[in-house]
A and B are shown apart, each in its own frame.
Chain A
Amino acid sequence: NAGVTQTPKFQVLKTGQSMTLQCAQDMNHNSMYWYRQDPGMGLRLIYYSASEGTTDKGEVPNGYNVSRLNKREFSLRLESAAPSQTSVYFCASKPGTSSYNEQFFGPGTRLTVL
C-alpha cells in the first residue's frame, strides 16, 4: 500500500495563476483533509471531506476550492494564487467516523507563489 500520495511535490506559481493539488489514498478511508503548514504555526485545516460526496470548510478556506472525486481522491484548487498562499500543503485521511481514529498524512506539496 502506498498510503496517502500527493502530487506535485514542489510547485512555483506566479501571482494569479491557478493549479490543482492532487491527493489519493489507498487505505479505503472515509475522511480526507487538506491542511497548510506555515513556519512557526501548527497545521491549519483548509477543507475536509467526512465521507464521499461531502465537503466542509475548515479554519482557512478562503482562496481554495476542493473536490472529493471519489472515495480515494480529494483535490485542492487554487483559482488565483496569491503570495499569502505560499506554504506546505498536506493531505491526510482517516478511517471510520470515530474521533479516536488517527489521521495519516501524505508527504506534502511545497508551494511558492511569486
Chain B
Amino acid sequence: QKEVEQNSGPLSVPEGAIASLNCTYSDRGSQSFFWYRQYSGKSPELIMSIYSNGDKEDGRFTAQLNKASQYVSLLIRDSQPSDSATYLCAVNDGSNYQLIWGAGTKLIIKP
C-alpha cells in the first residue's frame, strides 16, 4: 500500500516565524511532489511543486526534497495569519496520472 504521511496538527506558529511542514512517502518510484493549500470549505490550490533533490524557493515558500530519506517539507517564512489553512502533501504513484495524498496538516498562525 503506497502511503503519504503527514502530522495532522494543528501546528501553531506565531506570526512572523517560520512554519515547517513535513511529509514522508513510501513509494521509491515517486518522481513528482506537490504541496497544496486548502482553506476551510474551499478546494485545494497548488503552492509548490518539486521534482529534484534539494531546495526550491518561491517567495516566502521553500520546498525541500530528500529522495533517499523519502521526505518532503515545506517551509513558510514570515508566517502571516492568511497562511492559516490545511496543507496537503501529494506524491505521484510512479505513474503519470495518479497522486497519493496525505491527510493534511492544519496550520494556525497566531497574531
Contacts and interface: CB of A to CB of B under 8 A. Distances in A.
B95 A43 contact: no
Interface string B25-52: 0000001101000000011111001010
A42 B106 CA distance: 12
Interface in B40-97: 42-46, 49, 51, 88, 90, 92, 95-97
Contact of A105 (B8, B44, B103, B104): B44
Contacts of A41: 103
B30 to A, nearest CB: 9
Given A45-B98, A90-B44, A108-B42, 17 more contacts: A40-B8, A40-B103, A41-B103, A42-B88, A48-B98, A50-B96, A94-B97, A99-B95, A99-B97, A100-B31, A100-B32, A100-B51, A102-B34, A102-B49, A103-B99, A104-B46, A105-B43
B21 interface: no
Interface of A: 31, 40-45, 48, 50, 58, 90, 94, 97-100, 102-108
A97 B43 contact: no
B22 to A, nearest CB: 15
Contacts of B90: 43, 103
Interface of B: 4, 8, 31-32, 34, 42-46, 49, 51, 88, 90, 92, 95-99, 101-104
Instruction: Give 5 nearest A-B pairs by CB, closest first.
Output: A42-B101, A105-B43, A99-B92, A43-B101, A42-B103
B103 A99 contact: no
Nearest to B93: A99
B97 A50 contact: yes
